[in-house]
Structure 1
Amino acid sequence: MTGASGQTVAAVDADHPDGHEHPEDDPTVVDLLVPADGVPPLVTDREALQDGATRLAGGTGPVAVDAERASGYRYSARAYLVQLRREGAGTILVDPIACGGDLTVLDEALRGVEWVLHAASQDLACLAEVGMRPDLLFDTELAGRLVGYPRVGLGPLTEHLLGVRLQKGHGAADWSRRPLPAEWLTYAALDVELLEELRDAVAADLERQGKTAWAEQEFEAVRLAPPPPPRVEPWRRTSGLHKVRRPGSLAVVRELWESRDALASSRDIAPGRLLPDAAIVDAALREPAHRDDLVAMPVFRGRAQRRLADRWWSAIERARGLARERWPATA
């Protein structure tokens, strides 16, 4: 693989490239079902947020950080929960929505402190949106790739290096839901429970392999990476688009996709929950002659879709009204 700084990460084929045994071969692996100190109360107001910031500022060493989004449920990629843990401060769970979307007080408390994240590139943008930007970064997932571990997910790495199996099951949940269920908060707290210990274990292997400086360059490249540019013709990522071959039908896909995207953005709903990609492709292929033909099609005949039928039909009519030179090119 090629690292963020442009260097190549060599693939490692050995069974145990780092000298560790795999936990699936080790019957001593234990399940961690609850945090050692219990699940802390959820921070939902400015007073509790300031108290958490004070505790974090008084802690020592790096701070473990994680964020939960509502991918697949919401259009935005905002954080709906932020988890932090630091030696001497314990674990803090913050509801950024209830706190007004501004967590800069936490950012100020952690100036100059190393932040430990797993797959940091997934969370840095949503953390920046609430005013949190690390000065120093250690990414345990990226570090695991540099070491050459066969599996670098948080769960497998924690089992492999620490002999502890984390609770699973809520990573893809709708974290915009309120109130958040107690079992979800337990899962969220466990995500940062051992992250500092995991950081130390991976860092030791980086040092043994002489890759510490390389890893630091990679972490800094991730920390400073600009947001990705907007996709060119993002509608071409519609699942099943390969079935649509005529330029006029591609215009229908584009208009339906753009209409759906605008509505999804305004309602902060994942686009696929408004209208599945398969329905867009189906409408382009079947070429309904009238609005009634559209609402007779699968998916479009549902109650929710019938309420949006005028919107979808207008998109189809716009596509059909385009001059040929404005049709999308075939791939």
Structure 2
Amino acid sequence: MSQNTPPGQTDLFDLPPLVDTPDALAELVADLRDQSWLAVDTEFLRERTYYPQLCLIQVATPTGRVACIDPLALTDLAPLWSVLTDPGITKVFHAAAQDVEVLLQAAGAVPAPLFDTQIAAALSGLGDQVGYARLVEARLGVKLDKSASRADWSQRPLEPELLRYAGDDVRYLAELYPALRDELAARGRLDWLGEDFARLADPAAYANPPAEAWRRVRGHHQLDGAGRGILQALAAWREEAAAEADIPRGWVVRDELLLEIARRRPRNAQRLGKLRGSHKLDEATRDALLGRVNATLDEPPAQWPAVEARPQLEPAGEAAVDALMAVARLAAEEAGVSVASLTARKELERLVAGETDLPVLQGWRGELAGRRLHAWLAGEIALVGRDGGAALA
């Protein structure tokens, strides 16, 4: 919004064009093909569907051009997909994962190569998982209006304030990217981001195998082997049913009921009917759930999934984790990054337990912290008190 625009009003000069015809898309794509990088964002809905509904794609170029592309009006977005998957054009996102997932679903390919300003900001000392609005305000001094963050982007026509909001999500991203990129390059940290960005660009990262859906149900760690097996079977069936009907998982069966069925293990409709929330199920759903409960209980226990257990450490091991957290904090402070961007206590517990295939030991995290953690464990450096604080010696 222009600084001279009264609150609650929209400056029409700030509105990006809405590209909603084949000719307008062709003209835009011709310009995008000539760019070395693009700022990209999306607006989508998934409250009423299983698959995200892509409602808007925003782009900004190094030359300052901003445009919003309407996938609900355009039947052929192949020209745009060819740009977003062009290996010679870097696609810049903020907190890229959801946008990449949505574009992968729509285009059938990941928009790569990519650059994530949220990850880059962590290496610039701006904190772990910093939000876009906070980053824009911290770096550019612009306070964004986020009142439209819960808008229904499927409604047409789009109101001017929504177009302005959508445009701002890439307008300032295009200003942030060169500054963050050049700063990290000057500090010798730009190459450190390669592994993180490669993971974001890996289509396998967005796979959603039904057999793993049970791990997203809160409380699954509390179940025993049979309960985990039942929950795995129920959650897999629900995932497939939701995908087939293109409705949210919770519209099929809520998490709470799945977990309760896994705990109580009803083998017939009478016992299932005693569980809270089961009266809302139709007959076909009840039959499907009971069929999977009975089939799982008839399986050999060896087929039930295991929960990844946290290492059980002795008091000396817990003390070692405390010391490693202190080492990590010192490394983070020296590097000007947040300790959360380097590691977490759970990871250090695994390190003390003897695991070595850990993110903190790899890539830029290994450079900043991993070597020191190893050195402390090997007795090569010590954590000492100094001037009322801690230091490595």
Give the superposed CA RMSD. Answer: 3.6
Structure 2, unaligned runs of 5 or more: 1-6, 308-393
Contact 1:83–1:91 (Cα < 8 Å) also in 2: yes
Q: Corresponding residue for 1:47? A: 23
User: Is residue 268 of structure 1 aligned with residue 242 of structure 2?
Assistant: no
Letter in 2 for 1:210: G
* Residue number in structure 1 paired with 2:122: 145
The one-letter amino acid of 1:104's match is: A
1:203 and 2:184 equivalent? no
| Residue 94 (structure 2) pairs with residue 118 (structure 1) | yes
Partners of 1:163 and 1:81 in 2: CA distance: 27
Where in structure 2 are the equivalents of 1:54-69 lying within 5 Å?
54-57=30-33, 62-69=37-44
Moved more, 264-273 or 281-290: 281-290
Structure 1 residue aligned with 2:287? 313
Contact map agreement 2:50 2:246 (CA 8 A) in 1: yes
So what's the TM-score if we normalise by structure 1? 0.72
Q: Map 1:231-246; keep pairs closer than 5 Å.
A: 233-245=212-224
SS of match in other structure, 2:13: coil
- The aligned counterpart of 2:257 is 279
Q: 2 CA distance for matches of 1:33 and 1:210?
A: 44
Write out per-residue CA displacement over residues 11-56 of structure 1, whole angstroms, 9 at most, x where no aligned residue. xxxxxxxxxxxxxxxxxxxx99857733345434433322332454
Q: State the alpha-carbon separation in 2 of the partners of residues 161 and 32 from structure 1.
A: 25
CA distance in 1, matches of 2:9, 2:97: 27
Q: Equivalent of 1:190, from 148, 168, 179?
A: 168
Return the alpha-carbon distance in structure 2 between the equivalents of residues 57 and 286 of structure 1.
58
Aligned to 1:253: 231
After superposition, the Cα gap between the structure-2 partners of 1:37 and 1:108, relative to the gap in structure 1 and judged at 3 Å, is farther
Give a deviation string over 1:211-231, Cα, whole Å, max 9, x none: 23444x357635753423655
8 Å Cα contact 1:67/1:82 also seen in 2:
yes
> Does 1:130 find its partner at 2:130?
no
Question: Take 1:241 and 1:165, find their aligned partners in 2: how far apart are those partners?
Answer: 41
Q: Structure 1 unaligned runs (5+)?
A: 1-30
In 2, the alpha carbon distance for the partners of 1:242 and 1:222 equals 27
1: CA distance between counterparts of 2:163 and 2:273? 42
Cα distance, 1:199 vs structure 2: 1.1
Give CA-to-partner distance per residue, 1:32-82, whole Å, 9 cap, x none. Answer: 985773334543443332233245457x66321112333554322463321
Corresponding residue number in structure 2 for 1:167: 145
**Percentage identity across aligned positions?**
29
Helix, strand or coil for the counterpart of 1:84?
strand
Q: Cα–Cα, structure 1 residues 324 and 225, in superposed 2: closer, same or farther, change >3 Å? A: closer
- Inter-CA distance 180–279: structure 2 relative to 1 (3 Å threshold): farther
Give SS of 2:262's match: helix
Instruction: Say if 1:41 and 1:244 are closer, same or farther in 2 by CA, change over 3 A.
Output: same
Q: Is the 8 A contact 1:67 1:79 kept in 2?
A: yes
TM-score between the two structures when normalised by the length of structure 2: 0.62
Q: Kindly tell me: are residues 125 and 264 of structure 1, through their superposed partners in 2, closer, same or farther at Cα, counting changes over 3 Å? A: same
Q: Is the 8 A contact 2:92 2:177 kept in 1?
A: yes
Letter in 1 for 2:120: A
Larger radius of gyration between Structure 1 and Structure 2: 2
Q: Choose which of 51, 55, 79 in structure 2 pairs with 1:76.
A: 51
**Range moving further from structure 2, 231-240 or 274-283:** 231-240
Greater relative contact order structure (CA < 8 Å, 6+ sep): 1
Following TM superposition, by how much is the alpha carbon of 1:106 offset from its aligned partner in structure 2, in angstroms? 2.2
Shift in Å at residue 174 of structure 1?
A: 5.8
**For residue 106 of structure 1, what is the amino acid of its counterpart?**
L
